């Protein structure tokens, strides 16, 4: 158990579907992140939240919509995705932004998303 739990582990969705990815941490961390890992590509930062406030949107298309209702939970709402959005989506958390950049984040195991 890594301390960061992501559900579901696997998701197959059609291009017209709406689905949500969930991330939960009980580590008392205040910063949470969404990363995307496509095949043969490095992990790419998507969004950063610090104390529930979004601090970074890395030019992510609007078909990805994050939500952070509290410091323990982070969602990624998906709608009208494309097949090229198929990837591993990783959630992570850190004590705060500065600590995350020095001592690393705690990552979840990820959601493997396939868009058909």
Partner 1 sequence: DQQVKQNSPSLSVQEGRISILNCDYTNSMFDYFLWYKKYPAEGPTFLISISSIKDKNEDGRFTVFLNKSAKHLSLHIVPSQPGDSAVYFCAPRGSSNTGKLIFGQGTTLQVKP
Least distance between partner 1 and beta carbon 48 (Å): 6
Contact criterion met (CB below 8 Å) for 94 and 31: yes
What residue ranges bind partner 1 (CB under 8 A)? 2, 4, 31, 33, 40-45, 48, 50, 55-56, 90, 92, 94, 96-110
Q: Which is nearer to partner 1, 3 or 75 (CB)?
A: 3
Q: Which is nearer to partner 1, 42 or 83 (CB)?
A: 42
Q: Which is nearer to partner 1, 17 or 27 (CB)?
A: 27
């Amino acid at each position: 158990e890594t301390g960061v739990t992501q559900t579901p582990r696997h998701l197959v969705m059609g291009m017209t579907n709406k689905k949500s990815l969930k991330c939960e941490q009980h580590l008392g961390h205040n910063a949470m992140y969404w990363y995307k890992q496509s095949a043969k590509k490095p992990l790419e930062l998507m969004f950063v939240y610090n104390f529930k406030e979004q601090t970074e949107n890395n030019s992510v298309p609007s078909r990805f919509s994050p939500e952070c209702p509290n410091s323990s939970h982070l969602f990624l709402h998906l709608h009208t995705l494309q097949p090229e959005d198929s990837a591993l989506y990783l959630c992570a958390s850190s004590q705060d932004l500065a600590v995350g950049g020095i001592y690393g984040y705690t990552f979840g195991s990820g959601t493997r998303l396939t868009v058909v």
